[in-house]
Amino acid sequence: MNKILKKELLSPSVWLFEIEAPRIAKKAEPGQFLIIRTNEEGERLPLTIADFNREKGSVTIVFQEVGAGTSLLAQLNEGECILDVVAPLGKKTHIEKNMGTVVCIGGGIGVAPIHPIARGMHEAGNKVISIMGAKNKDILILEDEMRAVSDEVLITTDDGSYGIKGFVTTALQQIIDRGEKINEVVAIGPVVMMRSVVEATRPYNIKTVVSLNPIMVDGTGMCGGCRVKIGDEIKFACVDGPEFDGHLVDFAGLLSRQRMYKDKEKVESDHVCNLTKIKEVL
Amino acid sequence: MALQMTKHAMPEQDAQVRAHNFDEVALGYDEETAIAEANRCLSCPNPRCVQGCPVQIDIPGFISKMKTGDFDGAIGVINESNALPAICGRVCPQENQCEMHCVLGIKGEPVAIGRLERFAADRALAAKNEVKPITYAADAKKVAIIGSGPAGLSAAGELAKMGYKVTIFEALHKAGGVLSYGIPEFRLPKEKVVKVEIDNLKKLGVEIEFNSVIGKLYTVDELMEEEGFSAVFIATGAGLPSFMHIAGENLNGVYSANEFLTRCNLMKAYKFPEYHTPLKVGKNVAVIGGGNVAMDAARTSLRLGAEHVYIVYRRSEKELPARLEEVHHAKAEGIDFKLLNNPVEILGDDNGNVEKLRCIKMELGEPDDSGRRRPVAVAGSEFNLDVDTVIVAIGQGPNPLVQSTTPDMQTNKRGNIVADEETGATSKPGVFAGGDIVTGAATVILAMGAGKKAAAAIDEYLKNK
Ligand SMILES: Cc1cc2nc3c(=O)[nH]c(=O)nc-3n(C[C@H](O)[C@H](O)[C@H](O)COP(=O)(O)OP(=O)(O)OC[C@H]3O[C@@H](n4cnc5c(N)ncnc54)[C@H](O)[C@@H]3O)c2cc1C
Ligand SMILES: Cc1cc2nc3c(=O)[nH]c(=O)nc-3n(C[C@H](O)[C@H](O)[C@H](O)COP(=O)(O)OP(=O)(O)OC[C@H]3O[C@@H](n4cnc5c(N)ncnc54)[C@H](O)[C@@H]3O)c2cc1C
Ligand code: SF4
Ligand code: SF4
Ligand code: FES
């Protein structure tokens, strides 16, 4: 049981939870994730460790309510406990000194997991240029936090309500065009965004790391449900990743596998929705 | 009275009914039948059956107590050698172990040793015999066990009884290993049997830390150097699913048996949407493989509503590695065995869903290393099965998480931990290993036997330290 120390609404339907988890906080590294089970009937939900505080013994998650699992989680309040938290899972991001210029790209809620990576890159003495993308100004999250760990921040919005009008790739192209030597790109966000980033860097042969989020069950390499095709090989994202060389990822396969339970999810969220309504009536 | 040459039949749920529910299939003997079956045993002075039992239960000893209706006495005898008899009585491949050696088997059917063991154990479980907690010495040494499958559980029980403070670290949110996530409810009831056995261990004072993935949260070295454990027993099982590496394996509708069974058993997808984890089972399912895992996946598919379920196996009936009883049960429930067939490709539709499984016919050729005749493909015999779900149950390897973070511990080329067969000692001092992580996928009773041997060796090691 892990207590929720802080609950904050970052933007409509996007929550930040700080969770008491001393054993995990001691070990967590940028790039890793955890799996949460909210209640006995709940699914195992994979979420990135968006931050960790070793002294305080806490970890932070930022998640979007998209279906039954995440909305059940969002119903928990400060001071309440999460049934199970297992972590740290997956490999940590490769961060070292003298990597040169690193462009960290976070799209939508992907800004949350990119933040500790940008911070790690920055602390290691690399030049960090961050790109944050959102549909519009109102749903942009963690801007101050990103500015604090970046040498330069570019913001894009789909509707032009803030920063550059366009997608994260619009900003990335600007950086490439101005002649900046980019040594590595790390991109986290919706699959279609990561795919566009990879296609943008491919012609320039810029190393591009992406963090994949296939559907998972155990997160320990036991079920194989999270398998993704990387080049000619089948990898398990939970143990071999979640970060991979973007230029080798089969994005079409990933997108298709993520849709596996679309119809079942509807049944599930109707069920959870009814339960919530019953609770409200009582 | 002439000796009855066949086993007393075990009552079971009707095949047509049980194919649609998750209740236990085999219902167990009643007292009268148990005594009658016990009376078939000749109490051989030189009992061959005992040699066949990996933990050497005193079989004639417990059966002779059952003849007189002394069931408490019988379970006492069994418990001297086996900590989880209600489980073994249900899942041991008896026909290859104790019962294979029984003298009655020469002319007729052997004594139903497994069924008798189950009866005695179930009776004890129902009686809820009080487990006395252990009073630990103030300076009791701490032992860490990694994994709560049969190997870990049996080592934990033994070590606790010896007075060691045992903590089991389990990656999942539930204890039991394959007993909980793999073997289905209809073969091994979770609340009635598995949970009770695990609760008894907890009453002994064994602690279980769930959600603790060793290799990630702590390394083996950290357990010993920072967390104060004097010895470690690694019992992480064979959890890594193998795939066939044929085209189409990433299509939607292709599962490893581990994923399929975990969703159903551990996450209770069969109670969807009350439980939220979904599991998609189509109309027509092909399960690839011929072992217990394949039978479980096939029979689970049927219970989840599939209309037609195939077992696709590349050898013949004789080579099926599953327990005989499971094969019989599967057939009675209507599973369609496509023997001597090998999958070559999975074909999908435009949306990335499975549509067909392409197979090739096989015939048996010369014997291979295992002594079984090697299946060879019959050229030009390919055909398609119309299926929308494919479950791959062709075996599991060792999960590398612990080994890769314990560099000074020797592993073999398959990635299994190298450990002494008698003691479980690894190449790293104070670290022992047993069960599927050492032997590769084997059986519940062998894993338990390994746990028991390791416990004795750990005791020896810590006394001399
Ligand atoms: C390693 C990893 C890290 C992640 N980190 C974050 C994070 O930091 N913040 C965050 O908001 N989300 C994150 N996700 C995605 C998150 O796990 C899913 O949004 C969540 O599981 C959806 O569950 P649900 O029951 O609320 O929605 P559902 O109704 O079950 O699904 C809604 C949608 O999410 C997709 N989906 C379902 N399960 C998953 C899954 N396990 N992974 C990806 N997509 C899924 C479905 O295809 C569907 O489109 C991460 C996923 C992975 C694998
Ligand atoms: C579907 C199925 C049906 C079977 N049917 C039969 C049968 O009928 N009869 C029979 O005798 N045998 C059967 N078997 C085989 C039998 O279940 C296994 O041989 C036995 O369970 C092995 O026991 P174990 O303790 O070595 O490992 P497991 O039972 O595999 O337990 C290992 C445990 O370790 C945990 N773990 C793994 N890695 C870590 C880590 N890094 N940190 C913490 N914990 C970890 C796992 O989560 C798991 O709980 C079957 C197996 C399967 C999969
Ligand atoms: S433990 Fe298994 S092998 Fe031993 S007597 Fe019981 S059923 Fe037979
Ligand atoms: S060999 Fe058969 S008959 Fe003899 S003691 Fe064992 S179970 Fe009884
Ligand atoms: S989630 Fe099961 S193997 Fe990755």
pLDDT at B180: 93
**Chain centroid offset of residue B14 CA:** 24
pLDDT at B293: 96
d(CA B398, CA B419): 14
pLDDT at B1: 54
For residue B55, give the DSSP letter.
T
| Out of B211, B352, B400, closest to residue A85 by CB | B211
Superfamily for the A2-89 domain: Translation factors (2.40.30.10)
pLDDT at A160: 87
Burial of A142 (0-12, 13-18, 19+ CB in 10 A): buried
Mean pLDDT, chain B, integer: 93
pLDDT at A41: 87
For the beta carbon of residue B101, count every other beta carbon within 10 angstroms: 18
User: What pTM was computed for the model?
Assistant: 0.92
The answer to whether the CB atoms of B173 and A86 lie below 8 A apart is yes
Q: Is A226 annotated as a binding residue?
A: yes
d(CA A136, CA A158): 6
Q: Is B47 in the pocket of ligand 4 (CB under 6 A)?
A: yes
The residue whose two tokens read 């505080």 is A53
Q: Are B35 and B83 in contact (CB under 8 A)?
A: no
pLDDT at A271: 67
d(CA B144, CA B170): 11
Q: Pick from B286, B294, B214, B290: which is nearest to B258 by CA?
A: B294
Q: Are B62 and B49 in contact (CB under 8 A)?
A: no
pLDDT at A282: 47
With cut-offs at 50, 70 and 90, classify the pLDDT of residue B277. Answer: confident
Q: Which residues of B touch A272 (CB under 8 A)?
A: 273, 276
Q: Is A70 annotated as a binding residue?
A: yes
Q: Pick from A73, A27, A15: which is nearest to A53 by CA?
A: A27
d(CA B358, CA B348): 11
For residue B16 the two structure tokens come to 């047509």
What domains can be seen in chain B, in order of their start residue? 15-127 (1.10.1060.10), 142-239+398-464 (3.50.50.60), 241-392 (3.50.50.60)
Burial of A44 (0-12, 13-18, 19+ CB in 10 A): buried
pLDDT for residue B268 is more than 90: no
For the beta carbon of residue A11, count every other beta carbon within 10 angstroms: 18
d(CA B311, CA B395): 15
What are B309's strand-pairing partners?
Answer: B285
Q: What is the DSSP string of B88-129?
A: HHHHS-GGGTHHHH-THHHHSPPP-HHHHHHHHHHHHHHHTP
pLDDT for residue B130 is more than 80: no
H helices of B128-256, in order, are 150-161, 178-181, 195-204, 220-225
The amino acid at A80: E
What are B361's strand-pairing partners?
Answer: B341
d(CA B411, CA B324): 33
Domain ranges of chain A: 2-89, 101-260
The answer to whether the CB atoms of A221 and B172 lie below 8 A apart is no
Q: Is A33 annotated as a binding residue?
A: no
Tell me which residues have their CB closer than 6 angstroms to ligand 5: A 216-219, 221-226, 236, 238
Chain A, nearest residue to B237 by Cα: A222
pLDDT at A105: 96
Secondary structure (3-state) at B289: coil
Second-level CATH architecture of A101-260: 3-Layer(aba) Sandwich (3.40)
pLDDT at A276: 59
pLDDT at A27: 94
Question: Does the N-terminal peptide bond of residue A242 adopt cis geometry, omega within 30 degrees of 0?
Answer: yes
Output the CA–CA distances (angstroms, integers) from residue B272 to A150, A265, B225, B278, B300, in the order listed. Answer: 46, 11, 44, 6, 14
Q: Is A69 in the pocket of ligand 1 (CB under 6 A)?
A: yes
- B298 to chain A, minimum CA–CA distance in Å? 17
Residues whose CB is less than 8 angstroms from the CB of residue B450 and which lie 6 or more positions away in sequence, other chains included: B151, B235, B424, B434, B435, B438, B439
Question: Does the N-terminal peptide bond of residue A116 adopt cis geometry, omega within 30 degrees of 0?
Answer: no
Q: What is the DSSP string of B304-338?
A: TT-SEEEEEESS-GGG--S-HHHHHHHHHHT-EEE
Output the CA–CA distances (angstroms, integers) from residue B1 to A45, A77, B5, B39, B347, in the order listed. Answer: 63, 73, 12, 11, 61
A260: number of CA atoms within 13 Å, CB side? Answer: 24
One digit per residue, pLDDT tens: chain A, 282 residues? Answer: 899 999 999 988 899 999 999 999 999 999 999 999 998 888 999 999 999 999 999 999 999 998 888 999 999 999 999 999 999 999 999 999 989 999 999 999 999 999 999 999 999 999 999 999 999 998 899 999 999 999 999 999 999 889 899 999 999 999 999 999 999 999 999 999 999 999 999 999 999 999 999 999 999 999 999 999 999 999 999 999 999 999 999 999 999 888 888 776 666 666 666 655 555 544
Mean pLDDT, range B201-206, rounded to an integer: 90
d(CA B272, CA A262): 14
Q: Are A59 and A44 in contact (CB under 8 A)?
A: no
pLDDT digits (tens, 9 = 90+) for B25-48: 999 999 999 999 999 999 999 999
The answer to whether the CB atoms of B212 and A86 lie below 8 A apart is yes
The residue whose two tokens read 């934990």 is B156
